[in-house]
Amino acid sequence: MATEATEEKKDAPEPEPGRVDKYFGMTENQTNWKREVLAGTTTFLAMAYILAVNPGILSFGLSAAGVDAPNPGAVFTATALASALGCLVMGLWARYPIATAPGMGLNAFFAFTVVLTLGIPWQTALTGTLVSGVLFFILAVTGARESIINAIPAQLKLAVGAGIGLFIAFIGLKGGGIVVGSEATLVTIGDFTSGTVLLTVFGLVATAVFMVLGWKGGVFYGMLATLVLGVLTGVIDFELAEGFTPNLDSFGAAFTGFEDAFTVHMIAVILTMLFVDFFDTAGTLFAVAGQAGLVKDGKLPRAGRALATDSIATSAGAVLGTSTTTAYIESTAGVSVGGRTGLTAVTTGFWFIVSLVAFPVFGLVANNPAVTAPALIVVGVLMAKALGEIEWAKLEYAIPAFLIVAAMPLTYSISNGIALGLVFFPIMMAAKGRWREVHPIAWVLMLASIGYFLFLTE
């Protein structure tokens, strides 16, 4: 009887996945809601610094330079809301474990090039951001942007993923003080007697050990251990948790600058925002999706939705009062924990909403790069595995791929690396006699990249 009962139990059909499971495809992607929530929380902790850094650049940075600047509390609010909206749309509509927030580099371009150097009011700069977001959306929904991304050869996509890995590892090393600037050699080793550096090293060792032991939440636990040690040793000061008073003073400011939005300077600004965000987003989407094993046959399923999400978040962010919102490479931190579906991004978006009322708590992480630096470094290691899949023996692939990988960290720009690879790939293929294998769009991208270097870079 017991044997028959056991056999009946074995033959019993597997329970049907619930509605949430079906919608996000958790069973299909071999994950569960606990892992997805942990992944989304990890991604948030890895990118929470933007809540402090963005107001520092768009408000305090401009104020210190003596020009009119938005209220820091308004920038903080816009940053949190734009990030939350982008994450929710990405998770619920595109269903990818990819988070969005105002992009680093693009916020510096907005503040120090557009407003400070060109003398364009920050309200007009927001108008330019809004216009670029609308143009992005048109490209995304018409399929043009997806076609462009799919025209990029697989070898370059692998290089983009590895290059971004090195780039964010460099950000982590720099943020943790392990790598510092040097007039003689550009960069050098940091001060290992510094509490911040020692805390970063501890976090790196702890995170690496957790990862080697196979802990699914290794990155998350590493950040928690680093945060606890930092507080206990006094390296992390509770005063750093003080945030900004949320307000909506900048809401709608983007609608006041249309009169001056189409001058020669502003057209160049809009095109630059369009170009930089295009390649940053494309590179990030493929890198994160590739890390999660979601890229199929070299293509990104539902790429149009993912790209449109970036456009929606950028447009909404401009209306709220912040610079271009884009997909964040820190999403790989959540993927490394096991995030595979849109529920990861939804969780990240939830935490951005919570940050509006609980930012003092998250400020301990946001204002202490030593806590997030180890995660970025370890994630860089994970992403660098794409280097092994590049066909280095074929120089027509190896040369543009190497330039992409090297240029991203060395020029501190994802876009520069991608553009350099897009210039060299068609040329190398033509030199090899394989020009017929180059997609026509790739030739157009080569010309656009040359124009980018000639006219849109300083």
Which is nearest to 327 in space by CA: 344, 341, 301, 307?
307
The number of angstroms, rounded, from the C-alpha of 230 to the middle of its chain's C-alpha atoms is 26
Name residue 180's beta-bridge partners: 188
pTM attached to this predicted model: 0.72
The terminus-to-terminus CA distance of the chain in angstroms comes to 81
Distances (CA, A) of 340 to 26, 33, 256, 273, 442: 8, 10, 41, 29, 30
Within 10 Å of residue 393's Cβ, how many Cβ atoms? 7
How high is the pLDDT of residue 291? 85
Distances (CA, A) of 270 to 101, 164, 190, 266, 360: 19, 24, 38, 6, 35
How high is the pLDDT of residue 239? 66
- Asked if pLDDT for residue 14 goes beyond 80, the answer is no
Which is nearest to 341 in space by CA: 83, 92, 19?
92
Q: If you average pLDDT over residues 101-125, what whole number do you get?
A: 87
Least confident range of 103-117, 185-199, 417-431: 103-117
How high is the pLDDT of residue 380? 85
CA atoms within 13 Å, Cβ hemisphere of 160: 29
Q: If you average pLDDT over residues 412-433, what whole number do you get?
A: 89
| 330 three-state secondary structure | coil
Take residue 421 and report the two structure tokens written for it. Answer: 């690879």
How high is the pLDDT of residue 82? 97
* Run of H or E residues at 173: helix 154-175
Higher pLDDT: 98 or 291? It is 98
Higher pLDDT: 352 or 379? It is 352
Q: If you average pLDDT over residues 102-124, what whole number do you get?
A: 86
Name residue 296's beta-bridge partners: 299
Domain coordinates in residue numbering, the chain: 28-237+257-456
pLDDT digits (tens, 9 = 90+) for 231-273: 899 888 776 555 567 899 999 999 988 888 888 778 878 887 8
Take residue 227 and report the two structure tokens written for it. Answer: 């945060």
Which is nearest to 104 in space by CA: 261, 404, 330?
330
Which is nearest to 350 in space by CA: 84, 3, 13, 99?
84
How high is the pLDDT of residue 361? 64
